[in-house]
């Protein structure tokens, strides 16, 4: 970019100032207790070149473009939701804000085909990139957006990604984020959404790759009657590490949120889930359900699950549950008693555990693509998901 507009320079400076103040988080901080980011902090990364590739077939007035093409929308929204003071990595990403992809759908416009955005590295070596995505849907607009991060990690790359999602009143977004970077990658992500009245956000975050990954998902149900589905799936092995921190903020009455995060951890893999749900005073008739299931396929795999409910309204329904452990012995026997080998029984049960999240993705081609990836990893030949 040639000369940055003043608002952008100011935003970057704000991020840089904040990061200079706090630096990289350490495991002494509660929110980073289980995730040690020293592999990132102690590597000197070059500022890498990266770019977004967009595949979209959109009606007129729908904007899918970069900062130059969408400056008005960017100026109005960028940095308003992903708070630099909430997370040091958001501050760092904002300081280096450059590689921006914007999707803007005007009010009452429906985008029938999914908008696919994939982030790619260019160049080699230990590079850092800061992919930024902004999705803005006007009142009653509808769209499906697929964000993918797939090709980092052949070398020690570091992605520090921030996505902001803004939904107008009655807007409806299906959002799927897929992270399949290589095992040498460190991947840090923040997704912050802000929902208007009666809007619907169905979000699925998939983590299959990276050696070290952390994804903070924050959702504010800012309008009455907003509805959120916040799902996630991790399938990790080797020494991979994933940390999901989710915060669902019910700010207004009649909101509903359904959260399901399943994690499959094999060998020495490690999973962290922290699910915070806030129900603000006055957010009556909130209906919130959180579920976190962790499947440990080896004695060396580990998972930590922490629900955190902060409820300040009295007429609400909030439930949460977590499971942690190996495959169910009775289920394994059931499959073996039908002629399946122990290995086939194990693969099928593990796949079913993952498919429980995948089958909730509405878009069929996207779901099928992920289904293939999961099956390839688990050795299940043909599509079997219910």
Give min distance, CB of 374 to other proteins, in A. Answer: 10
Q: How far is CA 255 from CA 50, 157, 173, in A?
A: 38, 39, 16
Site string for other proteins, 330-349 (x = CB under 8 A): xx-xxxxxxxxxx-x---xx
196/203 Cα distance (integer angstroms): 16
Footprint on residues 109-168 left by other proteins (CB under 8 A): none
Give min distance, CB of 287 to other proteins, in A. Answer: 20
Distance between terminal CA atoms of the chain? 48
Binding flag, residue 364, other proteins (CB under 8 A)? no
- Please identify which residue in the block is written with the tokens 């991979």: 240
Q: Are 118 and 52 a contacting pair, CB within 8 Å?
A: yes
Sheet of 172-179, strand order: 49-55, 115-122, 142-149, 172-179, 200-207, 227-236, 256-265, 287-296, 317-325
Binding flag, residue 27, other proteins (CB under 8 A)? no
348/107 Cα distance (integer angstroms): 44
- The DSSP-derived string for 271-293 is EEEEEEEEE-TT-TT-EEEEEEE
Binding flag, residue 323, other proteins (CB under 8 A)? no
226/198 Cα distance (integer angstroms): 4
DSSP single-letter state for residue 23: -
Out of 260, 355, 366, 378, point to the residue binding other proteins (CB under 8 A). Answer: 355
Binding flag, residue 352, other proteins (CB under 8 A)? yes
Binding flag, residue 298, other proteins (CB under 8 A)? no
Binding flag, residue 287, other proteins (CB under 8 A)? no
Binding flag, residue 312, other proteins (CB under 8 A)? no
Out of 122, 328, 365, 372, point to the residue binding other proteins (CB under 8 A). Answer: 328
Comparing CB distances to other proteins, the nearer of 104 and 293 is: 293
| Three-state secondary structure call for residue 10 | helix
Comparing CB distances to other proteins, the nearer of 40 and 357 is: 357
The H or E element spanning position 102 is strand 100-105
Q: Which stretch binds other proteins (CB under 8 A): 35-43, 47-55, 195-203, 376-384?
A: 376-384
Comparing CB distances to other proteins, the nearer of 3 and 386 is: 386
Binding flag, residue 354, other proteins (CB under 8 A)? yes
Binding flag, residue 376, other proteins (CB under 8 A)? no
Residues that bind other proteins (CB under 8 A): 328-331, 333-342, 344, 348-349, 351-356, 358-359, 382-386
């Amino acid at each position: 970019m040639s000369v940055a507009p003043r608002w952008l320079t100011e935003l970057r400076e704000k991020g840089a100032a904040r990061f200079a103040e706090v630096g990289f988080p350490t495991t002494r901080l509660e929110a980073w207790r289980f995730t040690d980011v020293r592999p990132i902090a102690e590597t000197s990364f070059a500022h890498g070149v990266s770019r977004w590739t967009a595949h979209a077939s959109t009606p007129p007035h729908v904007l899918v473009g970069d900062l130059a093409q969408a400056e008005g929308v960017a100026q109005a929204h960028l940095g308003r939701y992903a708070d630099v003071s909430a997370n040091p990595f958001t501050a760092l990403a904002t300081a280096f804000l450059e590689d921006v992809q914007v999707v803007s759908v005007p009010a009452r416009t429906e985008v029938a085909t999914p908008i696919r955005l994939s982030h790619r590295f260019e160049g080699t070596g230990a590079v850092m990139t800061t992919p930024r995505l902004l999705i803005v849907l006007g009142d009653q607009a509808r769209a499906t957006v697929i964000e993918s991060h797939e090709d980092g990690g052949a070398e020690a790359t570091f992605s520090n990604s921030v996505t902001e999602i803004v939904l107008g009143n009655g807007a409806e977004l299906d959002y799927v984020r897929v992270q399949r970077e290589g095992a040498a990658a460190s991947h840090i992500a923040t997704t912050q959404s802000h929902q208007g009245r009666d809007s619907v956000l169905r979000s699925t975050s998939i983590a299959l790759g990276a050696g070290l990954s952390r994804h903070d998902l924050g959702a504010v149900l800012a309008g009455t009657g907003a509805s959120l589905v916040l799902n996630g799936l991790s399938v990790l092995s080797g020494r991979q590490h994933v940390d999901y921190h989710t915060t669902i903020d019910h700010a207004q009455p009649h909101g509903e949120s359904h959260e399901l995060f399943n994690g499959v951890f094999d060998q020495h893999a490690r999973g962290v889930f922290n699910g915070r749900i806030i129900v603000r005073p006055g957010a009556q008739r909130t209906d919130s359900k959180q579920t976190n299931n962790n499947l440990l396929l080896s004695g060396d795999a580990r998972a930590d699950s922490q629900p955190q409910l902060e409820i300040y309204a009295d007429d609400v329904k909030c439930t949460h549950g977590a499971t942690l452990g190996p495959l169910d012995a009775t289920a394994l026997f059931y499959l073996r008693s039908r002629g399946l080998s122990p290995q086939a029984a194990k693969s099928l049960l593990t796949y079913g555990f993952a498919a429980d999240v995948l089958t909730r993705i509405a878009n069929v081609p996207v779901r099928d693509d992920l289904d293939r990836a999961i099956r390839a990893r688990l050795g299940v030949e043909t599509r079997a998901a219910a």
